[in-house]
Structures are given as structure tokens and as C-alpha cells.
Structure 1
């Protein structure tokens, strides 16, 4: 039997042909389609709202600082933290020994002044009688009349001093000016309080803890969107899984400037029937300033996406020639990447409000259900070619 031997060149050609055939078969079964290169998400239609946020502090609507108009040492203390008090109820007593002694001294001065009035009155009557009989001169009569008037004035002065002393003695007993709850006590028995320059605060009484308010500060860029009566939602750290609600009561016109940042105080009414919201808690406030219903919206990550241009007919994005339809509402321009018929298309759109996760689409060649690109299938949400990702303005 005759054997056929292949030359080394023939073997090399056969090996090359087999390798090319194998590579073709591999590419045919393992080639990645454009749809498999990107993460996709459908355009949704529904409601979206734009909010402004700030932090604030929960306070009672009426917080009364109870002080003292007289100095002294705390003698008796009748209430403590969290005690409910009624209007006029005694809170504490100051040592009134000095005030009582001063009152007694001035009452004695009144008696002296009254005796002086009696003597001046008798002297004036006697001098007038002598003047009528021409035994006293006109000057002596006028002097007697003036002495009586001076004695009367002195008596009124000492009586006023007594009234002042009685008032100071009454001020040594501190009473509650309102009905409410004691949320702060600043003194103890034996402590000396001085009311020389300003009234010291002894107690803080919240009039009604079932009605609270939030004092918050909003930036000047957001204050123009806030209106009295708007609904407010907020959370507190004490109850992280619970949402609370209130309403805007007042926008104070007095601005606060810190390091060239201007803010305005916004007061928010909050109902607290369970009395679980405590004074001083930090509230994380969110106010819905604009709401749009039944509109198209896309995730913000899709607006930041920019694909890397790759070789191949189906991977290089092609721009749509259609311009966004005219819309009378203000908006900002953006671009979405849509997969249509196996091709990646760049579609210009006009953007509306955002809730910081999704953004409204005002106009553009986009409809509900369109598959838009949100990132690379390999993991990156934005593929870039040396440029910065699109920056979204938070309305």
C-alpha cells in the first residue's frame, strides 16, 4: 500500500485554516450583542414631586421663661422637671427676711409721716386763726400752709415705698404665669439668685406639649418655593421608621448670614397628640414644593451615562436628528441613550423637576416603555471618554 506524506508547508496551511474556522465559530456563538453590553431600564410614567430639605429643632409653641424680680436665697422648692403646673401655682419661695424687715421699716416711716401731717395741720389751723385776728402775718400763714403740704407729700412718699416693699415681698414667692409642664429647672434649694442687672431664669414652662413647632432654616435658593400652608413631612432620630407631618405657619423675613450663606427661618406647626416629640429633637424636614402627575420620568443615573465609543457598527452611538418638542415650561437640556433596532441612539430631551432620584422628561423622542441605558453591563454606571459625567442641577 502506498503512503502519502504531507509536507511541512501543507501542515501549516491546514492548521491555519482550522484555527480560522474555529475562531469564526467561536465568534458566531459568543459575540456580545449591543443589548448585552449595557444595563437597561424602561421609561416610566407616573407622579413625581420636587422637594426642598433642611434640618430644624422641635420646640414648644409657647415656652415661658420664669424668672425673679428680686434677689434672694431659694428657701423652698415645690416643683421639679416634668411636673405639670397650673397658672398661679407656687413654684418656689425665696428667703424674705430682708424684704419683711424693709417693709416694717417703711411702715414705721409712714407713721412718722402721718404724725408730721397732723402737726402741720394743727399749726396751719392755729396760724390761720391768728391771721384772721391780725395777730399773725401773711408770711407766717403761707409758711404754715407750705409745711402742711410738705408733710402730706412726705406721707404719700412713704406710703408708696410701703407698696413697693409689699410688691417685692410678694415677688419672693414665684408663681407659674401659665398652665403647662416644667421642662427646665435652673436652681436648687439654698442657691442665691441675683436680679441686679437682668432677670435670672429659674424655670422653663412649656404651655402645651400637644402642639409643637419646628424652627428650621432654608437657603435663599429654596425659600422662594415655600408658601404658608404647605404640607411638611419630617423624621426624627428617636423614631427612624416613622414619618411625621406638619404645615408651614410662618416664613420670617429676617435673614441670617453665616459665611456669606443667607438663610431664612421657617416655622412649622406640628401636632403632637401622643407627646412623643420632645423639645430639642432634631427634625429632618422635607417640603414638596412642586408636584407633577402622569408624566414621563427617568432615573438620574441614565442622564449621567455616557458610553465609550467602540469599534463596530452597532456599538458606536448615533444621534437622533429629531429635536425635543416645544414645551412652555422651563427646563434644562439633557441626553438619553436608547437601544432601538440593535443600535444605541443618543436622544436629546428637555428635563423638568427632579426628586433627586428621578427626573421628569418634558419633551423629546421618548415614550413610556422605551429601554434607556443606565450603565455598562460590566458594572460601571457611567462609561466616559476622558470627560466629566453630566451634572444634574437639583431644582
Structure 2
């Protein structure tokens, strides 16, 4: 038996085992497994040579130590492979980020998904407790919009249902369609109830400011310019031009800050019919 050759085989196996352990620490299980197979082959070769001489005992001790280390390394590799398998198994389970109702499923059982498939959703999940309304705001009004503003929602299918909401998203980038610039806006409904369904059509009136107990006048009665507005007032059967100071407007009626009193009658210029002022 070649004693130097036997020790050389053991030392080579020990070096390979050390390198395999380093690869294992780096997570390179395939490379570590390949070196471990070389270690096993070297140990088998050394074991055969160590069984025919009187100096077999020290060789056997050295061999046993290496075999123990080899077994520990093989166990570590198996543990790492098991951990990887558990991670991959976890990827097979789809976990929703919130409680809700599955409205639609876009994949079929047994279907193989590619990297391109991840661009599309697998499931359409709805949270019935929080419904969002997607809409657009004209560029003329976008500067008046702020996050948190209240909104009254009018549903086409449920016109008598009162639904409140708040502005929760305002896009910073506009979209041009037919030459008109608009901005995507999202309103989160505060009291959706069970009657609302995903995809319903609705209109939102966003409250940009609120004044109560004010004097209102129809916009049709206002003449002149915004800087110098005036109205025609019927007083003692005489028509009088009266300058007024205006406040908030909803596009139909406008707040009058000064120039008119509640109960006075104004005249629409196109019809010349008097309209009695009222508070609101």
C-alpha cells in the first residue's frame, strides 16, 4: 500500500471538503454538491488503501474525521435545498394584501405562466368596504382641487342614494383627448353600502369651499364683467342697474357679498322677468 499516496488522497479530500463548505456558505449548493462527490470518491479510495497495513489505525481515524465532516456538509446542503424548496412552494400560493371578494379570475388551473404573464393580474379582488371612483377633472378646475376635499356622489343606477366621498388622488400629469386636457382623479367613497357594485357609473360634485347662510343669485342675472359685475334690480316698478360684489359660484348660482338684499327682485336680461333673491 502506498502510504504517501493515501495521505495525499486524504489531504486532497480535506481541501475539497473545505472548499465545498465555503461554497455552501455562499449559497452555491450545486457547486458544493459537486465537490462533495469528489470528497466521497477520495475517501473511498483512501479507505481501501488504509486497510492492509499496521499504520491503518491513524489513517482510519483521519478517514473517520473526514467522513464525519462530509456527512455534516451533506446535511447542511440538504437543509439549504429544503429551505429553497419551501420558498418555491410559497410562491405557488397567492396571498391577497387585503380581505375582499374575488370578482374575476384571469388564469386557469394547470396553466403555465411565463415572465410575460406577470404583466397582467391573475385575480381581480374587490374590497367592498372601500370603493374608489375614478374620474377626470378639466384643466380649468384642477387648480381648485386638493386632497381631502369632500364630494357628493350621484349614482346613475341609484339616484336617490346619498353617498359621500373624499378626494384621495390627483394626477400630476394631464391627458389630452380631442384637444381637451384633463387630469385623473380618484375619490374614495366613505359610506358605499352593500348596493354599490364595481363598474357602476357615477358623477361627483367636489366641494372646493363651503359657505352657509349666504345670498345667492342665478348666474343668468349677472351682467358686465367679473371685475365689474352688475345686475338689474326691479324697485318701485323701476329697473335699476346695481353693481354687486360676488363670491363663490357653483356654475349655476353665485354668492352675492354686497350690493343686494334678500327679498329684492332682479331681472334676467334675456327674458326681462323678475327673480326674487333668496338666501341659501
Task: Work out which of the two has the higher radius of gyration on C-alpha atoms and give 1 or 2.
Answer: 1
- Of the two structures, which has the highest relative contact order with CA contacts closer than 8 Å and spacing of 6 or more? 1
The answer to whether the Cα contact below 8 Å between 1:234 and 1:286 also exists between their aligned partners in 2 is yes
1:368 shift after superposition: 2.2
Aligned pair in 2 of structure 1 residues 216, 122: CA closer, same or farther (>3 Å)? same
1:124 shift after superposition: 7.4
Aligned pair in 2 of structure 1 residues 263, 119: CA closer, same or farther (>3 Å)? same
Does structure 1 residue 373 correspond to structure 2 residue 279?
no
The answer to whether the Cα contact below 8 Å between 1:335 and 1:347 also exists between their aligned partners in 2 is yes
Aligned counterpart, 1:356: 251
1:284 shift after superposition: 0.9
Aligned counterpart, 2:61: none
Aligned pair in 2 of structure 1 residues 202, 125: CA closer, same or farther (>3 Å)? same
Q: TM-score, normalised by structure 1?
A: 0.45
The answer to whether the Cα contact below 8 Å between 2:157 and 2:201 also exists between their aligned partners in 1 is no
Aligned counterpart, 2:9: none
Structure 2: stretches of 5+ with no match in the other structure: 1-31, 50-54, 56-69, 274-280
* Counterpart-to-counterpart distance in 1, 2:121 and 2:250: 45
Aligned pair in 2 of structure 1 residues 185, 342: CA closer, same or farther (>3 Å)? same
Does structure 1 residue 117 correspond to structure 2 residue 39?
yes
1:234 shift after superposition: 0.7
Does structure 1 residue 238 correspond to structure 2 residue 162?
no
For 1:256-271, what aligned pairs fall within 5 Å after superposition? Answer: 256-259=174-177, 261-271=180-190
* Counterpart-to-counterpart distance in 1, 2:124 and 2:46: 58
The answer to whether the Cα contact below 8 Å between 1:186 and 1:203 also exists between their aligned partners in 2 is yes
* Counterpart-to-counterpart distance in 2, 1:117 and 1:272: 69
* Counterpart-to-counterpart distance in 1, 2:220 and 2:254: 10
Aligned counterpart, 1:201: 121
The root-mean-square deviation of aligned C-alpha atoms, in Å, is 4.1
The answer to whether the Cα contact below 8 Å between 1:300 and 1:359 also exists between their aligned partners in 2 is yes
| Count of residue pairs brought into register by the alignment | 219
* Counterpart-to-counterpart distance in 1, 2:198 and 2:256: 42
* Counterpart-to-counterpart distance in 1, 2:161 and 2:261: 36
Aligned pair in 2 of structure 1 residues 124, 163: CA closer, same or farther (>3 Å)? farther
Q: Deviations over 1:15-50 (max 9, x none)?
A: xxxxxxxxxxxxxxxxxxxxxxxxxxxxxxxxxxxx
Aligned counterpart, 2:202: 283
For 1:1-395, what aligned pairs fall within 5 Å after superposition? Answer: 115-122=37-44, 168=88, 171-172=91-92, 174-178=93-97, 179-189=99-109, 192-199=111-118, 201-206=121-126, 208-252=127-171, 254-259=172-177, 261-272=180-191, 274-303=193-222, 332-364=227-259, 366-374=260-268, 381=271
* Counterpart-to-counterpart distance in 1, 2:108 and 2:117: 19
Aligned pair in 2 of structure 1 residues 211, 118: CA closer, same or farther (>3 Å)? same
Q: Deviations over 1:225-279 (max 9, x none)?
A: 2333322111111201222102233434x31231564443333232346322222
* Counterpart-to-counterpart distance in 2, 1:111 and 1:219: 65
1:209 shift after superposition: 1.3
The answer to whether the Cα contact below 8 Å between 1:301 and 1:381 also exists between their aligned partners in 2 is no
The answer to whether the Cα contact below 8 Å between 1:336 and 1:349 also exists between their aligned partners in 2 is yes
Q: Deviations over 1:95-154 (max 9, x none)?
A: xxxxxxxxxxxxxxx998754431134557999xxxxx9xxxxxxxxxxxxxxx9xx89x
